[in-house]
């Protein structure tokens, strides 16, 4: 009388998803894209492993350590990097909840992702806006995007206009 309850993925299921990321990256390359972006924010699958609020595993993908929480994402990165594409990762800036990821976790995660071959490991601008609005009560949650984020968006648009590399956001829907 309803949907089945969620359950932890098996290691085999995790490996199948890693392979699916590699295959999706290959399809993006064949379609003419210069790069892909792995979406590890906003509660999507990779973010569920990254956040200790949703990752209650006790195996190698444990939610108790940053290394364990990043393992799935790093495996997906290595699979996609093998396709000789530019690779970016979109990571939430922090859970902003007790026991969740912090901005400091995300900074360290970005460093580790770049060491693994990610060209652009960055926080999602909406996440930063949300955290900034909470930290500074003078800013309303629906405030316009800060100038720095607007400048970054303008830079990305300018790169595209000059026919510089174009990325494709890779999410679960691409499998």
Q: Which residues are catalytic?
A: 44
What does the buried/exposed string (b/e) look like for 121-153 if buried means 16 or more CB atoms within 10 Å of the residue's CB?
Answer: bbbbbebbbbbebeeeeeeeeeeeeeeebeeee
Q: Alpha helix locations (H) across the chain?
A: 11-30, 45-50, 66-81, 103-115, 125-135, 147-161
Contact 94, 109 (CB under 8 A): no
Closest CA to 91 of 115, 107, 76, 75: 107
How far apart are alpha carbons 79 and 98 in whole angstroms?
33
Phi, psi of 114 (to 5 degrees): -65, -35
């Amino acid at each position: 009388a309803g949907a089945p309850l969620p359950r932890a993925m098996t290691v085999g299921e995790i490996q199948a998803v890693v392979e699916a990321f590699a295959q999706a990256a290959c399809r993006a390359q064949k379609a003419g894209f210069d790069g892909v972006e792995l979406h590890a924010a906003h509660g999507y699958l990779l973010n569920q492993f990254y956040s200790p609020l949703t990752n209650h595993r006790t195996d190698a993908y444990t939610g108790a350590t940053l290394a364990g929480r990043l393992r799935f994402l790093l495996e997906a990165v290595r699979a996609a990097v093998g396709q000789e594409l530019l690779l970016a990762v979109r990571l939430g800036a922090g859970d902003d909840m007790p026991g969740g990821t912090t901005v400091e976790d995300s900074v360290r995660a970005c460093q580790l992702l770049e060491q693994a071959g990610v060209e652009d490991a960055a926080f999602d601008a909406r996440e930063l806006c949300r955290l900034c609005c909470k930290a500074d009560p003078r800013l309303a949650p629906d405030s316009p995007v800060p100038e720095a984020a607007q400048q970054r968006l303008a830079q990305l648009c300018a790169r595209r206009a000059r026919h510089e590399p174009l990325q494709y956001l890779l999410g679960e829907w691409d499998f």
